[in-house]
Amino acid sequence: MFRRVITVVAGLASAAAVAVVPAGGLTADAATLKYVAMGDSYSAASGVLPLDLTAPPECLRSTRNYGHVIAAAKGYAYKDVTCGAAQTKDFAGAQYGGVAPQLDAIDGTTNLVTMTIGGNDSGVFINTILKCGQAGLSTLGQGHPCQTKYGSSFTDTIKNVTYPSLVATLEAVHAKAPAARVAIVGYPWITPATGGCFLKMPIASGDVPYVHNIQWTLNDAVRRAAAATGSTYVDMNAVSTGHDACKASGVRWIEPVLTGTNPVIVHPNALGESKMAAQTLAVLGLS
């Protein structure tokens, strides 16, 4: 699937964080504190250079992803298993040949886990952008052809399929790393709430609120899964408002389909990853 993401468009949060602090906290003995970064291409910063040459090439992991930024800022002992196109199923199973299940990276000595995950499950992000982009092109950016054609199908999938998968995944992480603080980071806004930018993001103007709501539903599923499992939710909704893919370079945190600067489109740029790191540190009380 990630090959489709690279060549076509790439895979694609509204409540307070729930903080759970393990025994001993996260501030003492930073150099020996064991931190593991997990998750999908938003965690891996796929498309942001330079690449992490120690990672499997299929994962397109960057040395500037938010896990690297956090580890460098705090001096933590760091292990990164983030991988582009990862789904929740890839925590317990191998994503690619030679790429171990992400759960293999954690154990009872792990102190901190971060992740962004869920957007690739059932193809929600890629199908939203592809299908709504195709629909928008068919009407030259007018009306709401994607909402008319697909209705609640995307949000229904998130609520009925993605959400329980997120809960099961977070429960599995806690079971393997019972002493760890587990933080799941929401997805920064891809589109504005209204208006849009048809030349950069080929979504019809009337479908921009529809796509925005699909992402809100996903981030809300992440929030609810965190609350249900005693995990920390890192809410990106408020802080990423005004930094969507329609904004100018240097302001946007997400690259658009057209006229962007990253080869992997509709993904965070280096600025976005640094802001995801900053928000995570703030929510964890470590900034």
pLDDT (tens digit per residue) in 8-48? 333 333 333 333 334 335 755 788 899 999 999 999 999 99
Q: Residue 223 is encoded by which pair of tokens?
A: 């929030």
Q: What is the pLDDT of residue 197?
A: 97
Interval 191-212 mean pLDDT: 97
pLDDT (tens digit per residue) in 91-150? 999 999 989 999 999 999 999 999 999 999 999 999 999 999 999 999 999 999 999 999
Interval 54-73 mean pLDDT: 97
- Distances from the Cα of 40 to the Cαs of 32, 48, 73, 103, 141, in angstroms? 26, 14, 22, 13, 30
Q: What is the pLDDT of residue 28?
A: 57
Active site residue 240: no
Q: Does domain 2-283 have CATH number 3.40.50.1110?
A: yes
Strand order in the sheet with 232-234: 77-80, 34-39, 112-116, 181-185, 232-234
**What's the chain's average pLDDT?**
91
The neighbour count for residue 61, using CB atoms within 10 Å, is 28
Look at the block and give the residue holding tokens 């925005």: 212
Peptide bond into 268 cis (omega under 30): no
Task: Record the pTM.
Answer: 0.91
Please pick, among 14, 41, 212, 287, the residue that the annotation labels catalytic. Answer: 41
pLDDT (tens digit per residue) in 176-201? 999 999 999 999 999 999 999 998 99
Q: What is the Cα–Cα distance from 15 to 223, expressed in whole angstroms?
A: 7
Please pick, among 68, 144, 243, 267, the residue that the annotation labels catalytic. Answer: 267
Active site residue 174: no
Q: What is the Cα–Cα distance from 30 to 249, expressed in whole angstroms?
A: 35
Q: Residue 28 is encoded by which pair of tokens?
A: 């003492």
Report which of 142, 271, 157, 177 is spatially closest to residue 218, judged by C-alpha positions: 157
Q: What is the pLDDT of residue 235?
A: 98
Read off the pLDDT band of 287 (50, 70, 90): confident
Q: Residue 79 is encoded by which pair of tokens?
A: 């292990």
Interval 228-251 mean pLDDT: 98
> Cα angle at 98 between 31 and 277, to 5 degrees?
35
**Rg (the chain; Cα; Å):** 18
Q: Return the DSSP state at 16.
A: -
